[in-house]
Amino acid sequence: MKSIVIHTEKKEVSRVTCRKNVLQRALPEALSAYKEAFVFTDETVRALYGKKVRAALGDVPMHAMPAGEEHKTPETLLSLLAAMAGAGLHRNACLVCLGGGVVGDIGGLAASLYMRGIACIQVPTTLLSQVDSSVGGKTAVDFMGVKNLVGAFFQPRQVFADPAFFATLPPREIRCGLGEIVKHGALDGDIYDTLQANRDRLFDLDFLAEIVPANIAFKARVVRADATEKGLRKCLNLGHTTAHAFELLDGKLSHGEYVLVGTMFEAELAKRHAGGDAAYLDELQSLCLAVLGGMPALPDAVEAARFALLDKKNTGKGSVVMTVPVAKGKYQLLELSGEQYCEELQEIGRKLC
C-alpha cells in the first residue's frame, strides 16, 4: 500500500504506511532522521518483540508500562515522562510507541507534553491500534473514572502498520479490533459489504491483513477533513457512548467488545428514534453478534446510562448525544434526554440480553 498522507491546511502532519518487517526496515530508516530515539511499550509487547527491537535499533532506551487499560493513568504517563527525562532526551528526539492503543494513547500524550512537543512514531501492534487508535492523533489517559478525560490532539509524524504483529495476538484482541472495523463498516458501505461478504473468515489473519489498508484509508479521510472533531469526526464515536458507559461500569470485556455491544444498543435506538432502516440495522446487529460470538453478560443498564451522562462528548445539559447508524453507509446524530436514555437502555438490555 502507498503511504496515506494526513494534512491539515495543506501542511502534511502525518503519514501512515502499511509495511512488512517494520521493525527491521521502516522504523530504523525513519529514525535515522532523528538524533535520539526512545521506545515506549508495554511489558507483554516487550517480552514478545523487545529482542527484535534491540536487534534493529541497538541499545535504544526503552520503557515498558504494565499491560492493560487499568494502567492508562496519569501515574503511568508521569512515569514515562520521568523515564524520558532520566534518559536526557532532547527536543529533537523521537518517541516510538510500540504497542496497542493504550501505549499509543499514553505515548502520544507524553510526546505532546515533553519539552512542549517532540516527534512521535506509532508502531501499532494490535488490530485495533492499526485500524483506529494510531491514526488521527487522539492521545489521552483516563482520569477520575472518565475514559480519555485528559488528552490532546497530537499527530504522530509516521504510523507503520505491520500485519505480522497479528500472529501473536490472542483471539480476543482480534475480536476487539474487529469491533472498530465493524464500526467503520457501519459508517462506510464498502467496508460493510466486505465484512458481510466474508462473514466466514472474519478472524482469518490473511483477511485481516487485506482489510487493514481500507480501514486506515477510511479513518485518514475522516481525520483529514476534521482533525480536531469539530464535526465529521464525531461519526467515529458511533457505538462509543454506550460502549464507554458499560466499559467504565463493568470493565470485564475489551474496548472493542464494548463497541460491538454499544453499536447493537445504539442501532436499536436508531430504529426507535432516527427512522433507521430496520432490516439493515438487524443485519448490522447480527454482524456484531457474530463477532462477539454471542451476547455477553452485561451489568445493569440504568447504572451504565448514568455513566453515559458523564461522557465528555455530551453537552452538559443532561442529555446524551450519539452518532447512530441509520442505513448502509448512513448515520446521524441523535440526542436523547438523560432520563429517556436510561429507560430505553434498560428496555433494550432486556430485549438483547
Residue with grid cell 482533525, as numbered in its chain: 227
Q: Which of 125, 215, 241, 323 binds ligand NAD (CB under 6 A)?
A: 125
Report the residue number, 132 or 344, with the smaller CB distance to ligand GLY: 132
Binding of residue 133 to ligand NAD (CB under 6 A): yes
Tell me which DSSP letter residue 92 carries: T
Q: Which of 36, 162, 173, 266 binds ligand NAD (CB under 6 A)?
A: 173
| Residue 262, helix vs strand vs coil | helix
For residue 233, the partner it binds in ligand NAD, ligand GLY, none, with Cβ less than 5 to 8 A by kind, is ligand GLY
Strand (E) or helix (H) holding 11: strand 11-18
For residue 311, the partner it binds in ligand GLY, ligand NAD, none, with Cβ less than 5 to 8 A by kind, is none
**Could you tell me if 112 and 77 are in contact, meaning their C-beta atoms sit under 8 angstroms apart?**
no
Residue with grid cell 452518532, as numbered in its chain: 323
Binding of residue 136 to ligand NAD (CB under 6 A): yes
Residue 5's beta-bridge partner residues?
15
Among the residue ranges 31-39, 125-133, 195-203, 329-337, the one whose residues contact ligand NAD (CB under 6 A): 125-133
Q: Which of 157, 175, 233, 255 binds ligand NAD (CB under 6 A)?
A: 255
Query: What is the rounded (10 degree) CA torsion for 154, 159, 161, 165?
Result: -70
In whole angstroms, the minimum distance from the beta carbon of 347 to ligand NAD comes to 28
For residue 293, the partner it binds in ligand NAD, ligand GLY, none, with Cβ less than 5 to 8 A by kind, is none
- Give the span between the Cα atoms of 94 and 133, in whole angstroms: 19
Binding of residue 158 to ligand NAD (CB under 6 A): no
Q: Which of 26, 109, 159, 236 binds ligand GLY (CB under 6 A)?
A: 236
Q: Name residues whose C-beta falls within 8 Å of residue 154's C-beta, 6 or more positions apart in sequence.
A: 108, 109, 111, 112, 117, 120, 137, 139
In whole angstroms, the minimum distance from the beta carbon of 286 to ligand GLY comes to 24
- Give the span between the Cα atoms of 18 and 3, in whole angstroms: 7
In whole angstroms, the minimum distance from the beta carbon of 225 to ligand GLY comes to 12
Cα-only R_g, the chain: 20
- Using CB under 6 A as the binding rule, the residues of this chain from 61 to 120 that contact ligand NAD are 67-69, 72, 99-103, 105
In whole angstroms, the minimum distance from the beta carbon of 209 to ligand NAD comes to 13
- Using CB under 6 A as the binding rule, the residues of this chain from 119 to 148 that contact ligand GLY are 132, 136, 138
In whole angstroms, the minimum distance from the beta carbon of 333 to ligand NAD comes to 19
* Selection from 216, 218, 70 nearest residue 141 by Cα: 70
Biggest CA–CA distance in the chain, Å, is 59
Tell me which DSSP letter residue 3 carries: P
Tell me which DSSP letter residue 296 carries: P
* Selection from 157, 166, 110, 215 nearest residue 16 by Cα: 157
Q: Which of 46, 233, 244, 255 binds ligand GLY (CB under 6 A)?
A: 233
Residue with grid cell 451476547, as numbered in its chain: 295
For residue 148, the partner it binds in ligand NAD, ligand GLY, none, with Cβ less than 5 to 8 A by kind, is ligand NAD
* Selection from 228, 242, 248 nearest residue 324 by Cα: 242
Tell me which DSSP letter residue 87 carries: T
The site for ligand NAD (CB under 6 A) is made up of: 42, 44-45, 48, 67-69, 72, 99-103, 105, 125-126, 128-129, 132-133, 136, 138, 148, 165, 168-169, 173, 176, 255
The site for ligand GLY (CB under 6 A) is made up of: 132, 136, 138, 233, 236
